[in-house]
Structure 1
Amino acid sequence: MTDTADLPTTPSLQEHVTVLDGVDIHWDSRVLEPRPWTVEQSRWAAELAGTDAPEGPILELCAGAGHIGLLAARASGRALVQVDVDPVACEYARANAERAGVETDVRCADLTGLDDAERFPLMVADPPWVPSAEVTRFPADPLRAIDGGEDGAFLVRACLEQAGRLLQPGGHVVLQIGSDEQLALVSDHDLVVGGRLSLVEARYFDRGVLVHLRRADEV
């Protein structure tokens, strides 16, 4: 088991613990603070995992400290693959999952780092979705974790591309975005317009929007 002391910390950093659905999530200021409302993303994914999602592990993209995928996997009993480009986030995701007794395979890589041959029944993603011009509104948040480019949707689009590439037929994705404008961009994405992904439902919360998309059933 990974001990907290093994995490890449310095004396000037204070580690915090946020309790979400009864699970201790450890983090520090180098990663995005786990927001309590995002537990709804975990719960939605776990609900889909228990209905018609195919067999297999949950894939979490832009995992950060890893709590969204961790809670979904814990509630559903599924294994977990987590991907983040930030080594500090990857260490926290790995350690948080180990403490919670959740099996995870953490990949420290960008979104193109997954093998084309891999397929997943269920994906969750919390990409950075704050437009670059607005990131100064959130000085406590790490820039890499929130800056989504000019319209806030640069990595949102990248997550959709990975959903089209990596989801099994009939698989699901629960994606976090920030606004109606970004929801329109999701609706207009080539994979949605072309039918490879279908937009099933959007749910609104005080701090963001969750979107459920489903992969077409064709082999």
Structure 2
Amino acid sequence: MTTETVDFRGLRISYDDRVLAPRIWTAAQSEWAAELIRTAPPGPVLELCSGAGHIGLLAVHLAPRSLVCVDADPVACDYLRQNAAAAGVPVDVREGRMDAVLGADERFAVVIADPPWVPTSGVAEFPEDPVLAIDGGDDGLDLVRSCLAVVAGHLLPQGSAVLQAGPDQADAVTALVEDHPDLRVAETRAFPRGSLIRIDRASGG
């Protein structure tokens, strides 16, 4: 495989065609997460479905905190470790299913979630992208649901999450958040290629 590199807002990010290529617009997720990190309660940052790691790495480069990254793809995790070393950012990389690699008592001040969100029926429209990295199930929200379950179980009181979804999925994500009584959607931001949703935990959650 040929390794490619991209400048992701000052970070040198490496990947190959087995890993989803970084989208420059997603730096907006990093920057929003960094804003939240600066005022969040004490505690580490968690990135779910981290891929090559660029979004989480940029967030904690801008606003330093301890970072835990989770991805089920061993190739993505290898690149994540390489990219973290190149950025000089220590990262605890957890390789495996998000519901299996986090301890029951682990809590995080900010969660960054980058789940696949393309419905299975639409995956063929993106032949350049690895299926594992984009296939979100029948409605595109299977991994979103998994991320929300982790947020509900591991986000600190007064903490926040920034979740990425499709450009037309913000309303559906908001409806899914309502299944978790301690969480609420605080803000959504629309972009041509995706949506970002801020999710807060109530102070007593």
Query: How far apart in 2 are the matches of 1:194 and 1:138?
Result: 32
Q: Which amino acid aligns with 1:55?
A: P
What SS does structure 1 have at the residue aligned with 2:110?
strand
Q: Which amino acid aligns with 2:63?
A: S
The residue that corresponds to 2:51 in the other structure is 64
TM-score (norm 1): 0.90
C-alpha displacement of 1:56: 1.6
Residues matched between the structures, number:
204
Q: In terms of Rg, which structure is larger? A: 1
The residue that corresponds to 2:119 in the other structure is 131
Is contact 1:195–1:216 with CA below 8 Å preserved after alignment? no
Q: Considering only aligned residues, what root-mean-square deviation do their CA atoms show, in Å? A: 1.1
Q: Which amino acid aligns with 2:167?
A: S
1:196 aligned onto 2:196: no
Provide runs of 4+ in structure 1 moved above 6 Å: none
Is contact 1:200–1:213 with CA below 8 Å preserved after alignment? yes
% same residue: 50
C-alpha displacement of 1:49: 0.7
The residue that corresponds to 2:41 in the other structure is 54
- In the TM superposition, 1:103-142 aligns within 5 A as 103-113=90-100, 114-142=102-130
The residue that corresponds to 1:149 in the other structure is 137
* Residues 56-113 of structure 1: CA deviation (Å, up to 9, x unaligned): 2110000000000000011101111000000000011111011101110000011102
The residue that corresponds to 1:40 in the other structure is 28
What SS does structure 2 have at the residue aligned with 1:151?
coil
What SS does structure 2 have at the residue aligned with 1:112?
coil
The residue that corresponds to 2:163 in the other structure is 175
What SS does structure 2 have at the residue aligned with 1:70?
helix
Query: How far apart in 2 are the matches of 1:164 and 1:125?
Result: 13
Query: How far apart in 1 are the matches of 2:44 and 2:87?
Result: 17
What SS does structure 2 have at the residue aligned with 1:188?
helix
Structure 1 residue ranges without an equivalent (≥5) = 1-12
C-alpha displacement of 1:201: 0.6
